[in-house]
Amino acid sequence: MSPKTLANLHGLLYAIFQSAVEAQPQLRAANPSARTRLPRVDDGIEDEMVFLERDEYELIREAMAGICKGDALDLIDLMTGTGLRWGEVSALQVRDLTVRGGLTVLRIQRAWKRQDDYTFVLGKPQTKKSRRTVVLSPALIEIVERNTKGKKAEDFIFTTAWGKAWRHANFYYRRWQPAVLAAQEKGLTKKPRPHDLRHTHVSWLIAANVPLPAIQARLGHESITTTVDRYGHLVQQLDNEVAAAVEAAMTGKRQALRLAS
């Protein structure tokens, strides 16, 4: 069964068992469904990561712009431009935008955490290294400033039409999935998940020759090993660029020696 079907069935069982726990007299001592870990709709193993080319991402952007007046367009642009996890970007608050050392940055200080009863609460990011700052480009600064205008410090940066924080399921089924389907009708052959925007961000950085340690810090990986294990194969695709750089360095050294002699 699909993750959504499993979640629906689990929700029914959870309600039934919880009624038994709360009944007077009590029919059960505990709810056996309370600690079940269910798959998310976008779960997948690492070798199923999807990396979007810029024209492929544009197809999704164009489709997203036509859904509910493009109210999620800035959200996916910031995800792609920063590599933030869904739980981090949807938890951003106005107070997280600051200027440090002359650069405009986002401070990643909290993330949404799913509880056993499927409610969500704000908590600390995934790991210690996940508490980080992410430098914003001018285009990303415009996005954040546009979405913080007139809001208070503890207001969420990205909100629904009702002023509430986005929920993953709501975003996925009402924005992301329709946008991907529309993009596929126009030629997109891949089936990316929202988390693949994070992978796409990394692939663009690597293509621009950004070092892996810098990418590790930007993503909030606890160890460089994690970054290498997940994205090291993309670096190997730059072998031609590496060979050209070495050749240029060696040729330049020989020319310098000849001039000196």
In whole numbers, what is the pLDDT of the chain averaged over residues? 86
**CA angle in degrees (0–180, nearest 5) for 25-27-32:** 145
Give 222's pLDDT tier (boundaries 50, 70, 90): confident
- Is pLDDT at 220 greater than 70 in this prediction? yes
pLDDT at 45: 41
Q: What percent of the chain is modeled with pLDDT above 70?
A: 87
- Each residue's pLDDT tens digit, 196-206: 999 999 999 99
- Is pLDDT at 245 greater than 60 in this prediction? yes
Inter-residue contact 71 to 160 (CB < 8 Å)? yes
Give 43's pLDDT tier (boundaries 50, 70, 90): very low
**CATH code, 40-239:** 1.10.443.10
Domain edges within the chain: 1-39, 40-239
- Each residue's pLDDT tens digit, 147-201: 999 999 999 999 998 889 999 989 999 999 999 999 999 999 999 999 999 999 9
